Structure 1
Amino acid sequence: MTWDAFHHRGDVLRTVTAEVDLRRDGSLPMDLPGVAETFRGELDLLATLQLRWHTRLAGRIERELGDQPLDLDSAVVDAWRATADQMPGVRAVLDRHADGAGDAADRGEAAHVMAVATAKERQMLAVLAGRVSSTEPEPHGQRIGEELEDRARAGWTEPARGRRRVVAVSFLDRLKAALAA
């Protein structure tokens, strides 16, 4: 991928993210300018949004663990909620497509991709909460990760449409993020 293509893809993805955050209906905005030319199809866009969510969630969990290292479960739950606050439209897209009922052209393949991504995410939640040690998805870790996710969802209220919750970021948080990059 060329430099220009990489940056164009990032620009289109930012536009897509802003649009799904505005719409929050869980649909993939394939009608936006540049989407059809940048992504190979709905499944490619869905996988890209899943990766963006996963990356943001993992980074947020790491920050929360730095702030509350003694209560790992709460750090993971708080990080999930904060990420959902920052990306409510992306979360809506992922939730809509989780069972294959979304608008991706190949629902079976989309359901499979989402099932694998969900398994990996739940295992990551369990590992980062210190409840399991294996990073490979396994039933015990899946169960714990699902419990943590359910706990996060139960206490999360979606921000008002068209708005994101403002999350205060301290100078130290910005410095940590810069050093991590």
Structure 2
Amino acid sequence: MSEKNSLLDYIKEPLVFVNATFDSHGELFEEVYQQAVKRDWVTTNFIDKINERETTFPTGIQLEKRGAAIPHTDPECVKQEFIAIVTNQKPVSFMRMDDANQSVAAEIVFVLGLNQPHAQLEMLQSLMGLLQNETVLTQLINSQDVPSLIQIVKQYSF
């Protein structure tokens, strides 16, 4: 299976939020959790674990022109693997993974719900490739609806 297909296989439409209005990463995590738990994709401790992990190991990334974040949590919290994608109307603050004393204004967030260790590394590598492609990143952030965002991911070749 190619990386391109594997990324697409993890994207679940109910967990794609375009032009959202989350005021904090906690609010964003709560909505991803609510959508995932009602589908039985995560355990009830997912929300506590992702918040704890974000506090201990921040996931904000300052890119050349914009900010992003790739939060994730313990594999045992995930029943059905997924990648949630969130674009927000105004950036959401995350602490930086390379300097926990600085924040980054994340315009796009990929919440990884993975339960296979090798899958997590592959997804992080794929997402880092995507994040370094300014053209694709801009297209994703400027998407107006879920189908167009998913179409951009389909077209993106790693």
More contact order relative to length (CA 8 Å, sep ≥ 6): 2
The structure in which a higher percent of residues are helix is: 1
Would you call these one fold, judging by a TM-score over 0.5? no
The structure in which a higher percent of residues are strand is: 2
Q: Which has the larger radius of gyration?
A: 1
| TM-score using structure 2 length | 0.29
